[in-house]
Amino acid sequence: MQQIIEGIKKGDIRSIARFISWVENDIPSYEPILAQLTFHPTPIIGVTGPPGAGKSTLINALVGNLLSQNKRVAIVAVDPSSPFNKGALMGDRLRMSEHYLHPNLFIRSMASRGSLGGLAPKIFEVCDVLRAANFDYIIIETVGVGQSEVEIAALADTTVLVLVPEAGDDIQTIKSGVMEIADIFVLNKSDREGAAVFEKNLIALSHQYASHDWENPVVKTVASQHIGLEELTAKIHLHQQLTNKGDKKLMLLTQKALLLIKALRTKDISIPHLSEEIAEQANNSDFNLYRFIQKFKLDSV
């Protein structure tokens, strides 16, 4: 146990990867180890947005920018789960292979395992492990599932929402979900037709959700050509310097606590066992799912 702790503190990649596997697989000894770690205030950057927006390409370019500044960066890429083995479908993100072997970069893929919020169930603990390893930046890429993808706001210090001009008029349909949780809007693939109109709409939304000390900037990028990355990096640094995020920060911490409580209360529920129980009863003519789940109801808090 002590060897793992020392390895994490020193930033040893093998120790970090091994312990993250313990966390993901609920190995009993992981919680005492977490309790002995010291967590550094490493900024966590959440990158979210719909599928096809170019999140992985953008992160690859952003990471290249940070590595050129001799920064240590950790990436957690949350992938859709296989419905059969619950593993991450995209593996270790071949699209980020440009920097894969760089000594200052750590990449970990995690399966969402059916989570509807765009994150993986153990993402909070994994990020704390990476904070204990004293990286300069932690970047989280979410699955990209639309309006329900708001959990990232409870985790990230800065949330980057990546959109593309093709969203067009659909901006009105998505703003009630993920638009509110963004700190920075990125208009990727901004060399495409319709980018100017879409940029104008994003700026209007920025005015709508502006606070007294921050108005979401709209950064135009073409990630595949490394265009706009310097401006994006500068905006992230600027947002990190905000000392008081007010009510939003309190709301995010509350949301994080709620998610951790949910995970704790469902920890003893086995999905395979639950599936077997449902399979046994589902064919009964009087089967009622709401009656079935009553046995899981907590009588007290």
> pLDDT tens-digit profile of 244-280?
655 666 776 787 778 778 877 887 888 888 989 999 9
Strands 73-79 and 105-111: parallel
Which segments within the chain are labelled E, that is strand?
44-48, 73-79, 105-111, 137-141, 158-163, 184-187, 218-220
Q: What is the pLDDT of residue 49?
A: 84
The residue type of 161 is L
Q: What is the pLDDT of residue 174?
A: 58
Q: Which two tokens stand for residue 44?
A: 């966590």
Q: For each of the domains in the chain, give its residue range(s) and CATH number, in order of start.
A: 1-37 (no CATH), 40-261 (3.40.50.300), 267-296 (no CATH)
Which parts of the chain sit beneath pLDDT 50? 81-93, 114-118, 146-148, 300-301
Chain centre distance of CA 252: 14
Using a cut of 0.75, tell me whether the model's pTM lies above it: yes
In whole angstroms, what is the distance from residue 281 CA to residue 260 CA? 31
List C-alpha distances in Å: 102 to 9, 31, 58, 98, 266: 20, 30, 18, 9, 38
Which segments within 80-125 are labelled E, that is strand?
105-111
Q: What is the pLDDT of residue 229?
A: 94
Q: What is the pLDDT of residue 243?
A: 64
- Packing angle, helices 13-24 and 2-9, rounded to 10: 120
What are 151-161's pLDDT values in tens digits?
A: 677 778 898 99
Tokens 């990867």 -> residue: 17
Tokens 């001799």 -> residue: 70
What are 162-178's pLDDT values in tens digits?
A: 999 876 555 655 555 56
